[in-house]
């Protein structure tokens, strides 16, 4: 449980506040707070902002699924001479919540394509973190000429064989929470997004295998997690629907990665035991036709290595 969440839950209940009311348990989405920067893509209102300026454009694709882009802002601000687009994916962060049936890998690819079409760029760079790396791989499979450069940050690997090894070694990465999601969703209803999102924060274990130090997770900023988006989007990569704690990944982007002819950099943190070199090396090697494909280890960093080592990450991106 994250610090203070249990006390917050007691406070909300004791004050007579309705937990289903926007803003009582978790921050409001763009549907409830019109002051948040947002755009509509494919009929879904997305929390999105543009920073900086320039003819070249960088698109950040956050991890999760279901997380938000807040942890990436510091890295985005370190990028110079380029326009930067950050957004929370559908059902995630502060973006509009959607039905389970509207959460799929294809839907996320379509949203990213719409965003790229809207904001353009002479030389387009995609930066995908963790799950966002899989979304980027799926995107270039459908639109191989849409980006000139790709940077992967602690990304999921290119195929199920490698990812199933991660899932087997680190079941708390998601597997142990699947049964809990089903029980809570069935108990309070699919549409109770605020309560589901809040409960995810309460029950999310501290994944120490992601970090160099036990307390590093406290330095990772976020707004709000999308509980439904996390699990229903992951189903797009699984061998069947969620039915309990066990899961088997089924996806393979190696062929489409091999056809990509742009430039690729794969970055990982030395302390990331789940999605470190074990996932990043096969990812870099899958881009066999890229004009350049380089693998970089970031010292003193875990899954969010740009927070603990901002200089090295920014240098590698700005110099790309």
CA angle in degrees (0–180, nearest 5) for 119-124-126: 100
The pLDDT > 90 percentage for the chain reads 69
State the pairing for strand pair 292-298/38-41.
unpaired
Confidence of residue 258 (pLDDT cuts 50, 70, 90): very high
- Is it the case that residue 152 has pLDDT exceeding 80? yes
The angle at the Cα of 198, spanning 192 to 201, to the nearest 5 degrees, equals 140
CATH number at residue 51: 3.40.50.1820
What lies within 8 Å, CB to CB, of 112 at 6+ separation is: 59, 61, 135, 139
* Per-residue confidence (pLDDT) for residue 5, from 0 to 100: 40
Assign 9 a pLDDT band (cuts: 50, 70, 90): very low
Do the domain assignments include residue 12?
no
CB 163 within 8 A of CB 282: no
Q: Give the three-state DSSP class for 136.
A: helix
Beta strands in the chain (DSSP E): 38-41, 44-51, 57-61, 83-87, 124-129, 149-153, 263-269, 292-298
Q: Does residue 1 or residue 310 have the better pLDDT?
A: 310
Q: With beta carbons less than 8 A apart as the criterion, state whether 132 and 125 touch.
A: no
Q: Which of 246, 175, 248 is nearest to 205 (CA)?
A: 175
Asked whether residue 7 is domain-assigned, the answer is no
- pLDDT tens sequence across 71-104: 999 999 999 999 999 999 999 999 999 999 999 9
**Interval 9-29 mean pLDDT:** 67
C-alpha neighbours within 13 Å on the C-beta side of residue 129: 29
Cβ proximity of 100 and 76 under 8 Å: no
5 assigned to some structural domain: no
Residue 256 is predicted with a pLDDT of 98
Residue 18 lies in a domain: no
Count how many Cα atoms sit within 13 Å of the Cα of residue 18 in the half-sphere of its side chain. Answer: 4
Within a domain: residue 273? Answer: yes
For residue 298, what are the domain limits?
25-318
Res 17: pLDDT: 63
pLDDT band at 186 (very low <50, low <70, confident <90, very high): low
- pTM for the full model? 0.91
Asked if residue 8 is part of any domain, the answer here is no
- Percent of the chain with pLDDT strictly greater than 70: 84
CA distances from 312 to 86, 102, 132, 315 (A): 21, 38, 21, 5
Q: How does DSSP assign 27-70, residue by residue?
A: ---TTT-TTS-EEEETTEEEEEEEES--SSEEEEE--TTT--SG
Q: Name the DSSP letter for residue 152.
A: E
Cα(133)–Cα(156) distance, integer angstroms: 6
Q: Structural domain tally of the chain?
A: 1
Q: How far apart are CA 42 and CA 119, in angstroms?
A: 15
The mean pLDDT of 104-114, rounded to a whole number, is 98
In a domain, 210, yes or no: yes
Contacts 24+ apart (CB under 8 A), 183-188: 184/227, 185/227, 185/228
| pLDDT at residue 175, rounded to an integer | 56
| DSSP line for 243-264 | -SS---B--B-HHHHHH--SEE
First-last CA distance in the chain:
39
Residue 215 lies in a domain: yes
Which of 264, 302, 307 is closest to 282 using CA atoms?
A: 264
pLDDT of residue 55: 92
């Amino acid at each position: 449980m994250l610090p203070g969440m249990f006390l917050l839950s007691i406070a909300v209940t004791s004050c007579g506040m309705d937990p289903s009311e926007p803003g009582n348990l978790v921050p409001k989405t763009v549907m409830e707070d019109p002051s948040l920067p947002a755009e509509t893509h494919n009929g879904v209102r997305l929390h999105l902002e543009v920073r900086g300026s320039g003819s070249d454009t960088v698109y950040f694709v956050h991890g999760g699924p279901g997380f938000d882009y807040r942890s990436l802002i510091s890295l985005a601000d370190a990028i110079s001479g380029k326009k930067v687009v950050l957004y929370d994916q559908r059902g995630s962060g502060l973006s509009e919540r959607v039905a389970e049936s509207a959460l799929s890998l294809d839907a996320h690819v379509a949203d990213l394509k719409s965003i790229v079409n809207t904001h353009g760029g002479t030389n387009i760079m995609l930066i995908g973190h963790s799950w966002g790396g899989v979304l980027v791989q799926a995107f270039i499979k459908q639109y191989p000429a849409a980006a000139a450069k790709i940077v992967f940050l602690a990304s999921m690997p290119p195929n199920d064989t490698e990812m199933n090894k991660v899932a087997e070694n680190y079941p708390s990465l998601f597997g142990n929470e699947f049964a809990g999601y089903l029980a809570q969703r069935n108990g309070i209803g699919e549409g109770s997004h605020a309560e589901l999102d809040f409960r995810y924060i309460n029950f999310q274990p501290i994944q120490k295998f992601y970090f160099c130090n036990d307390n590093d997770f406290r330095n990772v900023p976020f707004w709000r997690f999308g509980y439904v988006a996390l699990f229903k989007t992951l189903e797009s990569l699984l061998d069947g629907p969620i039915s309990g704690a066990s899961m088997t990944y089924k996806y393979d982007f190696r062929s489409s990665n091999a056809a990509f002819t742009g430039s690729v950099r794969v970055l990982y943190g030395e302390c990331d035991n789940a999605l470190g070199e074990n996932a990043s090396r096969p990812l870099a090697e899958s881009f066999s036709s890229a004009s350049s494909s380089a693998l970089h280890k970031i010292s003193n960093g875990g899954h969010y290595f740009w927070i603990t080592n901002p200089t090295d990450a920014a240098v590698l991106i700005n110099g790309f």
